[in-house]
Structure 1
């Protein structure tokens, strides 16, 4: 039975690795073969195919429910109901809309909308809105978060920005949103947002700085609804009924054991619904139900059976959940704990069990963190030794009691105020720890290295008496001392990252790394933290020998602060050093400066008479084995003429399209002098500037220059010095992404 269930779950999980979905005809054929195999009692193969068919069918439903391509970028009047918990960030309200309909078109069943400067929006309200709709789309880079897979797993068929709207109907049964508002109103040293996250699973009120602190200290699981919270509530309810029965206060005509199990499971389900019933909560409810069933029947289910059943049932309900990182982290953590504590001879003291549990989870989750390109908290095991009991035994019970007693004047607010104060003290300590021990981003590894790493960690988690257990240590060392990904001497690896409407280019030689621009940044959001740093770390970059900021505009320098905080930078050069923060210690880009690293030549240029802004961009040539790349930043036609008059040889095989392909750049004389065979365009999809301009594309076509566009192809890779064609990240097909488009 266990192996059959494992085969069914494996089939559903295989959906994650499919480059494209099989057609409905193929699925019908696979289902027929699966049925035949089941009739022939080939259970494992039949259930595997059946699980794969079920997952693919769900994926077809989700992809067919996305916005039609003809409506992409269109503004429509539509009507729908607000669901979930709307989030307010500055002047922006973000919320989800379901059951949306329009007279003009068929719409997806679920939309994710943003209303800049909009009025308050509450869950349960019905609105009539004018929305500019877009198909779900995400940046595609080596490493980092795949927002498009996340959107598909969440069921969002379109995103959009609201232009205008009116409320059609007031909220009905918006008790969850009402409780969230009461929690946010608790002003206990500004911890209302963290209380809402702790009790409701709503992280919209947690600031970016707080999330970074939680991530750095490995305590994110404490501020999201997890099995720990659900299990604690179920245990409290069960213990309360058992205590009342023991002291004789429970009615004799009601069997206390059945009532305790039923009430505990009802409490777990109620809390799960309150928290949005996410993956950890589903898993916890299933496992709690199995444990309570065992308690009633006094039957031993084993330690792995409940986990496997929960894993399979969660996938059966929603196979697309395997696209979410939280699914893998949640089940992997429980599996590590079961492996750590099951099958051991002898007992551990409570403090030994507690410390070993934290250390084993930290080590056991390493393969999952590496596979998902997530940061690893070095201080996590130590921090959780104190943070987990503080949250579980102090903050959470007081916060739960305060939420329940909110209708009672003063009592509920006072308890929530105390819980907020306890959270505030915890965050002060976590912030200090995060500054002392920042998170470690593991490098990307090949599948072979990852498999060896996983086997090594499995050996380390086995009991001490297992032979050859020590081999896990050198296997684990592959994560730190694995094969280098750098190019050979005389060649350079060029990555034009997909950062949206901006620019970030990594130039990597055998032993040196140069970053040219750092992507856009606006307020708390910047591409340096979300794209550049994760991509660099995934490529094995641990430091930067030089950072070149072409000019001070935010679409080129916005991510610099985040990059400098995460990676050591030896020197910073800039086209406009005086316009950048003094702490960056940027030096001016001097025309004609050149150097050579590992057989690769670098040459800088800047127009000495340039006015501030785009014309002042620092230009960089990179040459390897006679093959040249020209990075021009945002130079315009006037700067292009000055470059041609400088006397430096402008020829290059590859040209980064100046100013994202704007009509004010890429002049015909400049292109004729550079003579590139391809232009690399870094820009945002459907940007408001109209980049690249039609005249520039026509000029490229007339001169035989092939454009490669990050908005259509994702990140671009050039192996400079090999004269090989460009590699496009979207060519690595995934069924949830649009196919790579050849310009």
Structure 2
């Protein structure tokens, strides 16, 4: 039976690794084949087919509920109910609309919407909204967070921007939102956002600085409701009843063990409902229920059975959970603890058990964090030694009790005021540690290096005395100091990153790095910090020799400050140096400057008579082994004519589309003179500017140019000097991503 359960889990997990879903007829045939082979005692094969078929069916249903391509970018009136906890940041209200419907066609059941400068929106209300709809899609960069997968795992079929709306019905059954609003009025010594995260699982009130501190110290799991909080409450209830029974304070007419298990599970469910009962919470409640059932009836089966049953239970309820990093981390952490503490000889003191648990989890989860592309907290094992009991035993009890007693004058508010002070003290300590030891963002490594490092971590988790166990350390350290692939002399590696409506192009030679533009920043949405900086770190960049900012518009220069704060930058040049932040110490474009890095030639140009920002863009030509690329910023037709009188007006293989393909750029005069073979377009999907303009695309097609568009293909990677076609991120097929378009 255990083999069959493992095969079922394997079938359910296979979904995560499929590049495309099998045809409907095939996955409908799988359970039939499974039933046919059951009489031959091939249980593993049958259970595997059952699991894979069920997972494919769930994924197909979620994909079928996505917004049709014909409605992408259209504005429709939709009606639905607000669910979850709406977030209001910087005047932007973000919320989810469930049970959505429209009079003018079928729309997805669940949408994630943003309303700029909109009225208050509360959970449980029913609205009629005019929404500009978009197919669910996110930025697609190497080794970055996969927003498309996250949206599908949440079964969100469309995103959109609200243009207008009217409230049809007041909130009903919105008790969680009511508790949050009540918490926001409490004096928690400036920590109401953290308090809401701890009590309700609502992380929207945490600032970017708070998130960064938690990430650097490996304590995100402590301040947003996780399985640990649910398990802690269940454990407290269980131990309380067990203690009462031990000292004769529990009624003999009530068997203490069934009551302890039942009330502990009820407490877990209650806290789960308070937290919104989303996928991680459902997973935690299911695991706790199985552990309590094991404690009550099946103690002889060992600790692995509850974990295996919980894994299958979670995946049967929601096979798409495997698309989320939290799913893998939570089950892996429990598996590491069972493996390292189960069946070991000799007792450990409590402090040895606690400290070893932190280090063993850090070693066991290290390779998994690496393959998931997540930052690794170096200080996490030490910080959690103190932070976990502080939150679990000192902060959480008064937080929950204070929330429960809020109707009682002064009592609930007093407890929450004390809780706020305890949280503030914790953040003071976490902030100091984060300032000293920030999280490590490792560079991507080859699969064979990861496999060796993972084997090393496994060896270190084995008991002492196992042969070859000491070899685990050098094998694990290979993840920290992996061999790096050298860029050949005379070759330039170019990445046009997917930064939406902006521009960021990374150029690397054998020993040097140049960044042309730094991505956009609009309000608190800094893609230089969120996308460009972590992406180039994961590409192995530990310093930038030259950051060239074409001009000072926010879609090109907005991320420059964050990048300069996150990485050493030796020199900064800009088309408008006076308009850039002073701490960048930017110099002017230095028209006509030439230099060579590792056999690759660079040359700058700027229109001397430009008066406005876009025409002042600093243009860069790169030449490697005779293959040329021209990076043009946002120059317009007037600057293009001036460019034709410069040394850069030569045959060019690659052209970065001026001004994102705007109608005011990419003149036929320029295209005829440069005769580019291909064009790179960096723009946001469904942007309000209409980039790229259809007349510009028509010019490109007329000249037979290959078009590489970041909105359709994600980040684009090419080796300048090899005369090869580039690769786009969307070529790495995943069943939840739209396939890349045929090159225009």
Do both share a fold (TM > 0.5)? yes
1:370-409 equivalent positions in 2, closer than 5 A: 370-409=370-409
Q: Residue 672 of structure 2 aligns with which residue?
A: 672
Q: Residue 161 of structure 2 aligns with which residue?
A: 161
The DSSP-based 3-state class of the residue aligned with 1:685 is coil
Displacement of 1:398 after TM fit? 0.9
Q: Residue 239 of structure 2 aligns with which residue?
A: 239
Q: Conserved in 1, the CA contact under 8 Å of 2:73 and 2:133?
A: yes
Residue 451 of structure 2 is aligned to residue 451 of structure 1: yes
Q: Residue 418 of structure 2 aligns with which residue?
A: 418
The DSSP-based 3-state class of the residue aligned with 1:655 is strand
Q: Residue 633 of structure 2 aligns with which residue?
A: 633
Q: Residue 193 of structure 1 aligns with which residue?
A: 193
1:212-251 equivalent positions in 2, closer than 5 A: 212-251=212-251
The DSSP-based 3-state class of the residue aligned with 1:45 is helix
Displacement of 1:648 after TM fit? 4.1
Q: Residue 686 of structure 1 aligns with which residue?
A: 686
Displacement of 1:580 after TM fit? 0.6
Q: Conserved in 1, the CA contact under 8 Å of 2:653 and 2:677?
A: yes
2:451 & 2:295 partners in 1: Cα distance? 39
The DSSP-based 3-state class of the residue aligned with 2:596 is strand
Q: Residue 429 of structure 1 aligns with which residue?
A: 429
Q: Conserved in 2, the CA contact under 8 Å of 1:576 and 1:612?
A: no
The DSSP-based 3-state class of the residue aligned with 1:407 is coil
The DSSP-based 3-state class of the residue aligned with 1:586 is coil
Q: Conserved in 1, the CA contact under 8 Å of 2:501 and 2:682?
A: yes
CA deviations over 1:220-268 (Å, ceiling 9, x no partner): 0001212221111112222333344445544443323222211111111
1:171 & 1:668 partners in 2: Cα distance? 57
Q: Residue 22 of structure 1 aligns with which residue?
A: 22
Q: TM-score scaled by structure 2?
A: 0.97
The DSSP-based 3-state class of the residue aligned with 1:587 is coil
Displacement of 1:131 after TM fit? 1.5
Residue 530 of structure 2 is aligned to residue 535 of structure 1: no
**Unpaired segments of 5 or more residues in structure 1?**
none
1:233-382 equivalent positions in 2, closer than 5 A: 233-297=233-297, 299-382=299-382
CA deviations over 1:610-647 (Å, ceiling 9, x no partner): 22411111111111111111111111112112222234
1:728 & 1:505 partners in 2: Cα distance? 14
Q: Conserved in 1, the CA contact under 8 Å of 2:241 and 2:256?
A: yes
Displacement of 1:5 after TM fit? 1.1
1:298 & 1:590 partners in 2: Cα distance? 76
1:71-110 equivalent positions in 2, closer than 5 A: 71-110=71-110
Q: More displaced, 237-246 or 689-698?
A: 237-246
2:300 & 2:288 partners in 1: Cα distance? 14
Displacement of 1:363 after TM fit? 1.8
Q: Residue 132 of structure 1 aligns with which residue?
A: 132
The DSSP-based 3-state class of the residue aligned with 2:640 is helix
Q: Conserved in 1, the CA contact under 8 Å of 2:66 and 2:158?
A: yes
Q: Conserved in 2, the CA contact under 8 Å of 1:143 and 1:534?
A: no
Q: Residue 464 of structure 1 aligns with which residue?
A: 464
The DSSP-based 3-state class of the residue aligned with 2:205 is coil
CA deviations over 1:280-335 (Å, ceiling 9, x no partner): 43333233223322333373331222111111111110000000111111111111
Q: Conserved in 2, the CA contact under 8 Å of 1:605 and 1:619?
A: yes
Residue 38 of structure 2 is aligned to residue 38 of structure 1: yes
Q: Conserved in 1, the CA contact under 8 Å of 2:112 and 2:158?
A: yes
Displacement of 1:426 after TM fit? 0.9
Q: Conserved in 1, the CA contact under 8 Å of 2:79 and 2:126?
A: yes
Q: More displaced, 113-122 or 619-628?
A: 113-122
Displacement of 1:148 after TM fit? 0.8
CA 1:182 to 1:530, structure 2 compared with 1: closer, same or farther past 3 Å? same
1:559-598 equivalent positions in 2, closer than 5 A: 559-598=559-598
Q: Residue 182 of structure 1 aligns with which residue?
A: 182
Q: Residue 2 of structure 2 aligns with which residue?
A: 2
Q: Residue 705 of structure 2 aligns with which residue?
A: 705
1:319 & 1:180 partners in 2: Cα distance? 31
**Unpaired segments of 5 or more residues in structure 2?**
none
Q: Conserved in 2, the CA contact under 8 Å of 1:315 and 1:321?
A: yes
- How many matched pairs? 743
1:533 & 1:701 partners in 2: Cα distance? 34
1:374 & 1:523 partners in 2: Cα distance? 25
Q: Residue 493 of structure 1 aligns with which residue?
A: 493
1:596 & 1:148 partners in 2: Cα distance? 40
CA 1:532 to 1:241, structure 2 compared with 1: closer, same or farther past 3 Å? same
CA RMSD of aligned residues (A): 1.6
Q: Conserved in 1, the CA contact under 8 Å of 2:621 and 2:648?
A: no
1:671 & 1:709 partners in 2: Cα distance? 18
Q: Conserved in 2, the CA contact under 8 Å of 1:406 and 1:412?
A: yes
2:41 & 2:242 partners in 1: Cα distance? 46
2:615 & 2:650 partners in 1: Cα distance? 17
Q: TM-score scaled by structure 1?
A: 0.97
CA deviations over 1:89-143 (Å, ceiling 9, x no partner): 1212111111111211112111111111122222111112222211101111111
